[in-house]
A and B are shown apart, each in its own frame.
Chain A
Amino acid sequence: MTDQKSPTSAPAAGSTDDAAQVAEFEARIAQGESIEPKDWMPERYRKQLTRMMSQHAHSEIVGMLPEGNWITRAPSLRRKMVLLAKVQDEAGHGLYIYCGTETLGIGREELVDQLLTGKAKYSSIFNYPTLTWADIGVIGWFVDGAAIVNQTMLAKASFGPYARAMVRICKEENFHKKQGYESVATLANGTPEQRAMVQDAVNRWWWPSLMMFGPSDKDSPNSAELIRWRVKRDTNDTLRQRFVDLTVPQARAVNLTLPDPDLRYNEETEHWDFGEIDWTEFHEVISGNGPCNRERLAARRKAHDDGAWVREAAQAYAAKRDAVTAA
Chain B
Amino acid sequence: MANDTVSAIGGATSAAETQWDLWEVFTQEGEGAPHEHAGSVHAATAEHAMQNARDVYARRGKVVSLWVVPTGAIIASAPGDAGPLFDPGNDKAYRHPQFYKTPRGVRGL
Contact = CB atoms under 8 A, between A and B. Distances in A.
Given A99-B40, A109-B17, A161-B10, A38 B22 contact: no
Contact of A95 (B44, B56, B60): B56
A272 interface: no
B11 interface: yes
Contacts, number: 81
Nearest to A165: B39
B35 interface: no
B48 A314 contact: yes
Interface stretch (B1-9, B89-97, B98-106): B1-9
Contacts of A102: 10-12, 22, 40
A92 B56 contact: yes
Contact of A37 (B6, B19, B38, B56): B6
A99 B76 contact: no
A317 B45 contact: yes
Interface residues of A, number: 32
A275 interface: no
Interface string B5-44: 1100111101011111010000000000000001111111
A100 interface: yes
Contacts of B6: 37-38, 105
Interface residues of B, number: 31
B18 A99 contact: no
Nearest to A35: B79
A89 B58 CA distance: 11
Nearest to A175: B60
Contacts of A161: 10
Interface string B45-74: 100100000011001100000000000000
B39 A100 contact: yes
Contact of A107 (B14, B41, B48, B55): B14
A309 B12 CA distance: 24
Interface string A301-327: 000000000010011011001000000
18 contacts: A38-B78, A46-B1, A92-B59, A95-B39, A99-B40, A102-B10, A102-B22, A103-B11, A107-B14, A107-B17, A108-B17, A109-B18, A168-B38, A314-B20, A314-B43, A314-B48, A315-B44, A318-B44
Interface of A: 36-40, 46, 88-89, 92, 95-96, 99-100, 102-109, 161, 164-165, 168, 172, 311, 314-315, 317-318, 321
Nearest 7 pairs of A and B residues by beta carbon: A37-B10, A103-B10, A318-B44, A314-B44, A105-B1, A99-B40, A107-B12
Interface of B: 1, 3, 5-6, 9-12, 14, 16-20, 22, 38-45, 48, 55-56, 59-60, 76, 78-79
